[in-house]
Structures are given as structure tokens and as C-alpha cells.
Amino acid sequence: MTYDYKKSQQLFERAQKSIPGGVNSPVRAFKSVGGTPVFMERAKGAYMYDADGNKYIDYINSWGPMILGHAYEPVVKAITEKVAGSTSLGAPTELEIEMAELIKSMAPNVDMVRMVSSGTEACMSAIRLARGYTGRNKFIKFEGCYHGHADAFLVKAGSGLATFNIQTVPGVTAGVSMDTLTAPYNDLHAVEELVKENNGAIAAIIIEPVAGNMGCILPAPGFLEGLRAICDREKIVLIFDEVMTGFRLAAGGAQERLKVNADLVTYGKVIGGGMPVGAFGGKQEIMQHIAPLGNVYQAGTLSGNPIAMIAGYTMLKTLKDDPSIYKDLDEKTAYLHKGLDEVLKTANTPYVINKLGSMISVHFSEKPVIDFSSAASANNTLFNQFFHVMLKEGVYLPPSAYETWFVSTALSKEDIDKTVEISGRFFK
């Protein structure tokens, strides 16, 4: 069965007249995989439906938020009931307290939390806070990690920058990027070298504890623990960017799953149940420097917005109250992993499958994919071909080898069997 994309093609032509690249976020543009981005109309559970009426099994899940599937009833109901009371108040509300208390009850090491409206805002605020708290300017990020599009992060970043091979971003000044230090993921020695060269000048180390923006890449045993030890020794703030892993790998995210404590944690995606929500939180001693308590200024018109809060609260409460959800996510992802492994090992192409919890990615590489350079040296042209075969057969994978796939509880074993069966046909 191959799909007809006529309506998507028409919409894409029209969109490009008014929106740069025809999309409101570059990764959606199919630029690296080629072809016309599919314009979606609606989604329910594990399925998305495009403007031509084609149906897809969804492994993007809005890049993470749709962990319980699309249009999850309790979230839809909560939003519908709340919206009549105004879509924004711009004043403190009890619901924001309840949201903060719920996050604190789920996330380890979070004494205080500030709501924002995106993962980018969460990460840029966390870096500003770490700088304000330590009085230091520099920070370390890892090649291939993506922390949103704030200037200081657009140095050797992952996600769309890796996809489009954007090494330096016009508009990001040398003055900003000079304080951004980078090291390869999983390379503790490189971090030690940077700390030595910049003695006493590093405010923070920010990391995706499980990387999801160069495909899914796991921390090597001891890597995160090593970063923790360096930060303790050097009084550097360790920031876990859990925009992807937060509330996904476990109720307590990567801190709980991997048993390593951060000083500050950033959240996004799942935390908003699909509405624009981000957050950053951590130890009281650090968070108390945030305005209006302290002088590290951070603000947002729609921060703590009632519709976003009720969506996020309903989502997080569901995840907290039913721990079997994480078992289900892990089992479904393991089932997908096993199926893909069975078909790929009969193919005559090298591959690795990286997986943790409900994050998974396939890399056509003969060597382990442990950092950006190994992800970049995989056969990503083959991935692009694989992507289109899957798409035409109704399986919607992230349109880039530099993205992780996300599994939702809404996926059935039949959906996974179909995914594996089509993969098998491609590799026969």
C-alpha cells in the first residue's frame, strides 16, 4: 500500500509562502530525509491521520509529550472543563501550587520549581541561575546534545542542527559562544581536561542524562557518576536536562532510573501533556536565587497558564498514580527492540539498536553508537530510505537519524508487529 500525499503537497506549497520552510519547527520539514512533510489533521491514541486521510502508527508522539497516546481522554476532559474559566489569568493560582507540589512529590532533589512555557526556556533559565548562583560564566555541554535554541546552546548541538549539519548558527555571537565549552558524550577525560583548563570558571555542566537528540544514546556505566563527582569536587552545578527523559523513564525521570542526583533539573514535553509547558527545579539553596526571591531574573506571561497546568497536572497525576504504566512502556519497547533485532540480523547491513525505557533508536552502524561522532558516521542515507518505506506503509518515524523514537502506552502489540513486519520487508 503506498500513500497519496496530494493534499500535503498542496499545503506544503501554500505554507512555504507564509512560514519559513513551511514549518514552525525545522525538524518537521523532512529536510534530511527528503520529500514533502506530511501535514497531519488529527490523532487519537497511537495513530495520526494526515490531510489526505492516511493513517500512521506514531513513534514521534509530538517529540515526546504523548506518552499516553494522543487525545488522552482525562487530559482532553480536564482542558475542556477548565477553558471556560479563562485561558490565561496572569495571576497566581492554587492550581500552580498543586502542580509544583505534584512535581516535587515525583522528582527527586526538587525542593522548588518554576514553571515556564518550553524546554528551551527551562534550560536557558537553569544556566542563568547556575551562573548567578556560582558567579561563574562558562558551562560545559556535550556534542550532539540539544537543550533548545537559546544562543549559548547552539554550539555543536543535536536535533535539527545535527540533522541539517549546522556547525555555527548565524546570529549567535562569539561573545555568547565563548562561554560554551563542549566535550564528546561519554568522555569523562575530556570533561576533566576542560575543568583543568578553565579552573574555577565553570558554573555548570548540562547534560541529557539519556541523550535523545543524536538518536538515543545511553550514558556509559560510571559516566554520570563521574560528572557528579567532578561537580562535587569543583562546586559546579550539575544540570540534568530531562525535557525528554523527565516523567518518561520513570515517575522520577532519569534521576530515579539511573540513581544519579542532579543539582538542577529541567523539564518539558510530558510535563505539559502536549500543552506548552517547561519547568526547572532543584535544591532550595540554588532556586532561592530566582526572582523575585533572589536577583536572577526569569519571567513569562503565560508561565503557569491554567490550561497548560491542568493538562500537565492530569498527565503527571496519571503517571504517578499508576506505576504499571512504566512497566507497560518498558515491555512494549523491549518487544519492539526484539522484533527489530530479529529482522535486522537477517539483513546484510550492520546496525545497532539503542534503548532505555521507552526511548529507542536504530543506527545502521557497525560500531556502537555512544556519542555524536559515532552517530554521524552511521549509514544515515540508509536510514532516510528506511524512513520513507516505513512512512509509505503507515509507520511514522522521526524524520532524522538524529532523533530518538518514542513509545506510548497506546501502541498495541499488533501495531508493533506491523512495524516489525514492514521493517523486515525493507531489509529482505
Tell me which residues touch ligand KE4 (CB under 6 A): 25, 27, 63, 118-120, 123, 146-148, 159-160, 208, 212-213, 241, 243-244, 268, 278, 403
Would you call 241 a catalytic residue per the annotation?
yes
- Output the smallest distance, CB 428 to ligand KE4, in A: 31
Q: What are phi and psi of 91, to 5 degrees?
A: -140, 155
- Paired residues of 353 in beta bridges: 362
- Paired residues of 183 in beta bridges: 142
Q: Which CB atom, from 237 or from 422, has the smaller least distance to ligand KE4?
A: 237
Please state, in angstroms and as integers, the Cα–Cα distance from residue 96 to each residue in 91, 216, 276, 286, following that order: 10, 32, 15, 20
Q: Which CB atom, from 118 or from 314, has the smaller least distance to ligand KE4?
A: 118
Q: Which CB atom, from 163 or from 420, has the smaller least distance to ligand KE4?
A: 163
Catalytic pick among 156, 269, 332, 355: 269
Instruction: Name, in order, each residue with C-beta under 8 angstroms of 37's C-beta and a sequence gap of 6 or more.
Output: 8, 12, 22, 23, 28, 29, 30, 399
Q: Which CB atom, from 159 or from 186, has the smaller least distance to ligand KE4?
A: 159
- Output the smallest distance, CB 246 to ligand KE4, in A: 9
Instruction: Name, in order, each residue with C-beta under 8 angstroms of 2's C-beta and a sequence gap of 6 or more.
Output: 392, 393
Catalytic pick among 56, 133, 146, 185: 146
Would you call 3 a catalytic residue per the annotation?
no
Q: How far apart are CA 155 and CA 152, in angstroms?
A: 7
Q: Which CB atom, from 217 or from 243, has the smaller least distance to ligand KE4?
A: 243
Q: How far apart are CA 408 and CA 57, in angstroms?
A: 11
- Output the smallest distance, CB 121 to ligand KE4, in A: 7
Q: How far apart are CA 207 and CA 104, in angstroms?
A: 21
Q: How far apart are CA 278 and CA 118, in angstroms?
A: 4
- Output the smallest distance, CB 374 to ligand KE4, in A: 18
User: Please, where are the H alpha helices in 153-200?
Assistant: 160-163, 174-177, 188-197
Q: Which CB atom, from 153 or from 313, has the smaller least distance to ligand KE4?
A: 153
The residue of the chain with the least Cβ separation from ligand KE4 equals: 119
User: Residue 414: is it exposed, middle or buried by C-beta count within 10 angstroms (0-12/13-18/19+)?
Assistant: exposed
Catalytic pick among 58, 241, 263, 415: 241
Please provide the distance, in angstroms rounded to a whole number, between the alpha carbons at the two ends of the chain. 17
Would you call 269 a catalytic residue per the annotation?
yes
**Rg of the chain over CA atoms, in angstroms?**
21
Q: Which CB atom, from 268 or from 306, has the smaller least distance to ligand KE4?
A: 268
User: Which of 288, 245, 241 has the alpha carbon at shortest distance from 264?
Assistant: 241
Please state, in angstroms and as integers, the Cα–Cα distance from residue 157 to each residue in 35, 177, 229, 380, following that order: 24, 12, 25, 18
Q: How far apart are CA 303 and CA 309, in angstroms?
A: 9
- Output the smallest distance, CB 242 to ligand KE4, in A: 8
Q: Which CB atom, from 26 or from 294, has the smaller least distance to ligand KE4?
A: 26
User: Residue 90: is it exposed, middle or buried by C-beta count within 10 angstroms (0-12/13-18/19+)?
Assistant: exposed
Parallel, antiparallel, or unpaired: how do β-strands 237-241 and 202-207 relate? parallel
- Output the smallest distance, CB 398 to ligand KE4, in A: 8
**Enzyme catalytic residues:** 146, 241, 269
